[in-house]
Structure 1
Amino acid sequence: MAQSASEVMKAIGGYFEIENEGVGIFPHKAGILLNTGRNALEYILLSIFDIRRIYLPYYTCSVVLEPIKRLGIPFAYYHINGNLEIDGQVMLKEGEYIIANNYYGIKDAYIETLVERYGDRLIVDCAQAFFAPIISGIKMFYSTRKFIGVPDGGVAYCDKGTNLFHFEQDDSIDRLDHLYIRKEQGAEAGFKLYQANEKKLDNQNVCLMSTFTSDILERIDYTSIVTRRRENYLYLHKVLKGINHLSLPKMDTFCCPMVYPYMSSIDKNIRQKLIDNKVYVARYWSNVQPYRDFYREVDMANRIIPLPIDQRYGIDDMDRIVKIIAR
């Protein structure tokens, strides 16, 4: 029986397959290599001895709260504006710190301005900005899984960390199936295993990065990844900027985007249309629900569609995405 067009259609986006090995230099050799991004944040928080309260954006992933709640640190939310920046001023008192997100990997230049404002009381969430520059003296944490086909992994930067001998080394052996199945059988075949792997990463103890993950990260062509992502981002932006309701910074102000954030008009169900055509786009974040007066954040969560631009795809794939949106 002949396959239909939908059966042979290439899937775009979604979780990664196991990464092809190449030749490159891991950009975070100087960091503290841990098992997840959220545990990299916990490592940073453990290094701060005078912390009384932490501020974080309401528009963020709920897993950021895992280490904050586990350590019993009081927290408060702040608003962001339409430029994905802090809305107004968050004035810090003694013992207070602030987490700022490098959203979608496109806010490198803005983060530099926050360094001037908050200094060493700034913690930069680079979970979506794997290639964002490391800033000396600033606490930063990164996640590997949003950019590379690995089962786990996070990186922390801070001046005075906990002795690493206190931590066991992680083991990735039970988190690999979805990576190989996607490579051999496609996105749909391994999706449930991917979801199961995400659950396994919840509430993990802080551990050193597994040998499996660190070995893969040492053998990746990072230059090609950055080049491909920037090319794909630029193509989408040239075509979609006139109908994108989100204000985006110029490309020369950031190193490497995670996705192309496209903010759709209210009346179009573009997200579902893309998914129906095997372009798998996430929703950042499902935990951002109506709460107090965080109306803009909820609107962003509903309307911003993170279009895939990663190293697995080229201009033909970007053109397919554009045509689906235009239908």
Structure 2
Amino acid sequence: MDLMHEEIGGFFEFGLSGLNQFPYPNATQYNSARSAFYDLLKNTFIEKLWMPRFICDSMIDPLIRLGVEICFYDLNPDFSPILPEILIPNEYLLYVNYFGLCTSIQREILKKYPAEQIIFDHSQAFFVKPFDCFATIYSPRKFLPVAEGGLLFTSQNIVPKYYERSAEEMVKQYQHGLLRTVSTAAHAYNVFQDNENAFEDCLPRKISKITEQMLESFDYANFKEKRLKNFKFLHSHLSRYNQLEVNIEDIESPLTYPLLLDKKISNILIQSKIYTPTYWLDSLKRVTRGGVENNFISNATHLICDQRYGEKEMQFQIDKVQDYLK
């Protein structure tokens, strides 16, 4: 008798219809982008890496754990990197496609430096396809209603050795999304924070079957189109106020609409239940006081442009911003 066959009958399990449109089926999957980064570093024995000062601590932690030498670099106002003219053979460069706005800068980097020494972080640029370079890292949960996920493309032959996770842990990480569905974001926020803190351990773990099913269930073309439409609608009304130069023709994967003013207005918008995210306050200790990154962290407000919303919600945000600026 075959005791290893799949279970038959009983109560129904979680299940979604698969559209099979997941754009990155060949990526190596992890539970987070930082664990993908950790596994890349561990298996390729990188000894020295140029890193932007403007990046979250979660991407610095794997370097510290593995003893990789870090050389920090600054950014220009357009997010282009300030780097040496050449990279010596044992140096690597990591560059972030900030908020999905920097694809043209990535092309310029590839013209200047050897592709085999470049790592691109697409955690904020999910719909930008991987370039032909040393590695590209993605974080689906910043763009999709999944509670975890990290994707790795690399020219190196890496076979991940995943650390174990309990079934209960995999289910618990979706609690905040379920709570928000039946209640409010405010009600679920503390649970969301607890789940975010669980990612501080950057050891590589495999994503759950819940996440695998969800990633196969989304209409990605529709999501991408809605984000672009929302971003362009916001830009058409707010560009005259925005101190950040945006090349609207080169954008294909916006994370947010970063509105750079003389001060951040997130607290004002939150009063109207517009929950604008804040990015990388933890990098303030690294960036130059009074520099480009410090100004951006302190004075940029990230308006919402994701696929859950349409013109009505974009106009509501625009009205609130314009009311403040009157």
TM-score range, shorter chain: 0.7 to 0.9
Query: Greater Rg, structure 1 or structure 2?
Result: 2
1:241 partnered with 2:239: yes
- Helix, strand or coil for the counterpart of 1:279? coil
> Aligned equivalents of 1:22 and 1:310: distance in 2?
22
1:47 partnered with 2:48: no
1:14 corresponds to:
none
> Aligned equivalents of 2:18 and 2:276: distance in 1?
27
Q: Is the 8 A contact 1:21 1:221 kept in 2?
A: no
2:52 corresponds to which letter in structure 1? P
Tell me: CA distance 1:290–1:272, structure 2 relative to 1, closer, same or farther (3 Å).
same
2:313 pairs, out of 307, 311, 317, with: 317
1:23 partnered with 2:14: no
Q: Is the 8 A contact 2:117 2:133 kept in 1?
A: no
What is the TM-score normalised by the length of structure 1? 0.88
2:273 pairs, out of 265, 272, 278, with: 278
2:141 corresponds to:
145
Tell me: CA distance 1:291–1:206, structure 2 relative to 1, closer, same or farther (3 Å).
closer
> Aligned equivalents of 1:176 and 1:291: distance in 2?
33
Number of positions where the alignment pairs a residue of Structure 1 with one of Structure 2: 303
1:284 corresponds to which letter in structure 2? Y
Q: Is the 8 A contact 1:24 1:218 kept in 2?
A: yes
TM superposition shift of 1:93: 2.1
> Aligned equivalents of 1:64 and 1:270: distance in 2?
27
Tell me: CA distance 1:181–1:109, structure 2 relative to 1, closer, same or farther (3 Å).
same
TM superposition shift of 1:84: 1.0
TM superposition shift of 1:78: 0.3
- Helix, strand or coil for the counterpart of 1:280? coil
Q: Is the 8 A contact 1:290 1:298 kept in 2?
A: no
1:261 pairs, out of 251, 258, 262, with: 258
1:220 corresponds to:
218
Question: C-alpha deviations, 1:9-59, integer Å up to 9, x for none?
Answer: xxxxxxxxxxx977351011111011101111112212323x221111111
What is the TM-score normalised by the length of structure 2? 0.88
User: Relative contact order (alpha carbons < 8 A, sep ≥ 6): 1 or 2 greater?
Assistant: 1
How many percent identity over aligned positions? Answer: 25
1:123 corresponds to:
119
Tell me: CA distance 1:292–1:298, structure 2 relative to 1, closer, same or farther (3 Å).
closer
- Helix, strand or coil for the counterpart of 1:288? helix
> Aligned equivalents of 1:320 and 1:190: distance in 2?
23
Question: C-alpha deviations, 1:56-109, integer Å up to 9, x for none?
Answer: 111111111121111111102101011011135463223111110100012122
> Aligned equivalents of 2:70 and 2:17: distance in 1?
41
- Helix, strand or coil for the counterpart of 2:75? coil
Tell me: CA distance 1:95–1:197, structure 2 relative to 1, closer, same or farther (3 Å).
same
Can you give the 5+ residue segments of structure 2 that lack an aligned partner in the other structure? 1-15
1:186 partnered with 2:177: no
Tell me: CA distance 1:194–1:220, structure 2 relative to 1, closer, same or farther (3 Å).
same
